[in-house]
Amino acid sequence: MSSKKFLKAAIFGLLTIVASLTTQSYAHTFKLAGNNFLLDGKPFQIISGEMHFARIPRAYWRARLRMAKAMGLNTVCTYVFWNVEEPEKGKFNFKGNADVAAFVRMAQQEGLWVLIRPSAYACAEWEFGGYPYWLLNEKGMKVRSQDPEFMKLMKAYYEQVGKQLAPLQITHGGPIIMVQIENEYGSYGDDKEYLKMNEGMMRNAGFDVPFYTLDGIDEVSRGSVGGALPAVDGSINIEKIEQTVRTYHHGTGPFFIGEWYPGWFDVWGKPFNTVSTKECVTQLNTILAHGLSVNMYMAHGGTTRAFMNGANYSKSLPYSPQISSYDYDAPIDEAGHPTAKYYALRNVIEKFLPKGTKLPKIPTVERVISIPEFKLNSACSILHDLPKPVSSETPLTFEAIHQAYGYVMYRTHVKGPVKGRLDIDHLRDFGIVMANGKKIAVLDRRLNQESCEVNLPDSENTLDIFVENLGRINYGPFINDNHKGINHKVTLNGDELKGWEMYGFPFSSQPIVENQTETQSQYPVIREGSFALKEIGDTFLDMRKWGKGIVWINGHNLGRYWDIGPQQTIYVPAPWLKKGKNTIVVFEELNLKQSEVRFTRTPILNDVIDSKGS
């Protein structure tokens, strides 16, 4: 055979193989028929678990997926957070830990189907419910509404997400079997046209698999939309679930509990929430025995890193920011370890597997290490190298100075002598009040604190208010009222203070600490130290001796700590450590003299002290 003929034959053979692989990849089908989900024409019971790729270090995605598969799950479910994928207006990022397509492909490689929740609104105890902060700078715009500007921006987001995920649907050879429209909208509103517009945008972005909505069982009438399966959450009343779904879905099922809760989320200053293993076993057994499909929220929670935790607030509920740990009392704990609940639920699922199906062996987990206490030898006050301020007659919000997260120090000057009440109108969310370099008050939105007494001498006094964004509201009617910082005016004895300078501390990267050994300042302090490792492993940073702040290790923002609890440790994944020298930076707001840290093998997630002690 000539070389030319051989080349033609080789190309033809390669094309044949590619065509064969393509045909195989399109072999699967997923449909709704009567009371059943049909996978490849056969009834399929979805046994899914929620895990959010953005809450898990990318290096651990596969390990977490394998642990979920070994529990008996055939499907995983994840949100896509708009503020992760488009952190600044028009600047999309689908790389690193934001690479949702890579997570979905990895799930397929591990033999798992995928449910995608790409809605512009997520909730999920995530900052602003997943909305990017910059939406708040669109004057007069309302999220979760037909507001034209909001719709335009949401459409652009869906288009970009569609480019990433539409090729990964089962209709195109991928693992995505269903897509959710909005999220628990019935608990917020009843604008059916708004829901249809969401559906239309998703269809236009390339999503062509079955759609579903998800609402509390008593809110399905408000949150369902024609053409989408109404899934429910918060109930295991089988008869009521079936009756509700039939009412809003052509008289048939399938019946899908889109969020079943084997655990719950946690907020600062309150005890860690748990759901007993016995109760979980009973509930899951009931669900599966009646043939319902289910998604457990969460199968594995992970960690809400940096400043991405959300908060709850209502007229009857004080502002309640969530902790950084999203352990959720889930069957797979924050560090990816199987719990007693994991083994118990695995035994339940095993009873309902198709004949001949065997569960995979439970994977081994990363080793856990401890590190003895050591001192952070370098320190500097935030005053050491102040950023350039933004000046204004009245205080400006974080959003007005284009700062998403972190802290802002508000400074003005007051002619003394003056004694009386300082009022901060709408302090969002935590403030340290300083007069002439001395701390005079700590104000906490959780405790409805917005005022304090001041006594200023006969001089030109410097008044500083150091304000922390503790997380934007992620659920409920106040989601459009989410600006951070000082939202209105500051008065002293009723007289408005003017002439402000705003110093921003977004801490979007690990701060550099000048080589100072100590600071006498009463302002928040940044401390830095290092530690050496011969071997790496997962570990937990024990912050019980500290007050309140955030921590970086080797450039990774680990999240918040706060001595009020319940969380007293921060999970440190092994891939973020390295053999040899490691750098740790702590930003401390309250306990300024503390300088020693230690790492432990065991998380401490339920140690609450008096929240008024801050």
Residues marked as catalytic: 184, 259
Distance between CA atoms of residues 45 and 522, nearest Å? 59
List, as one string, the DSSP characters of 186-211.
GGT---HHHHHHHHHHHHHTT--SPE
At position 316, the amino acid (one-letter code) is S
Distance between CA atoms of residues 206 and 102, nearest Å? 18
For tokens 């651990």, what's the residue?
A: 60
Which of helix, strand or coil describes residue 375? Answer: strand
Which of helix, strand or coil describes residue 155? Answer: helix
At position 573, the amino acid (one-letter code) is P
Whether the upstream peptide bond of residue 566 has omega within 30° of 0, thus cis, is: yes
Whether the upstream peptide bond of residue 417 has omega within 30° of 0, thus cis, is: yes
Nearest 5°: the CA angle 62, 63, 67 is 115
Distance between CA atoms of residues 467 and 469, nearest Å? 7
Distance between CA atoms of residues 329 and 187, nearest Å? 25
Distance of CA 126 to the CA centre of its chain: 4
Bridge partners of 30?
A: 39
At position 236, the amino acid (one-letter code) is I
- Contact between 431 and 465 (Cβ < 8 Å): yes
Q: How many C-beta atoms surround the C-beta of residue 94 within 10 A?
A: 18
- How far CA 474 is from CA of 341, 397, 400, 471, in Å, comes to 28, 19, 20, 9
Q: Is 302 left (phi over 0), alpha (psi -120 to 50) or beta?
A: left
> What φ, ψ does residue 602 adopt, rounded to 5°?
-120, 130
Distance between CA atoms of residues 468 and 459, nearest Å? 29
Q: Pick from 578, 568, 584, 581: which is nearest to 537 by CA?
A: 578
- Contact between 320 and 313 (Cβ < 8 Å): yes
Radius of gyration of the chain (CA): 26
For tokens 């923002």, what's the residue?
A: 557
At position 395, the amino acid (one-letter code) is P
SS (H, E, C) 395-417: CCCCHHHCCCCCEEEEEEEEECC
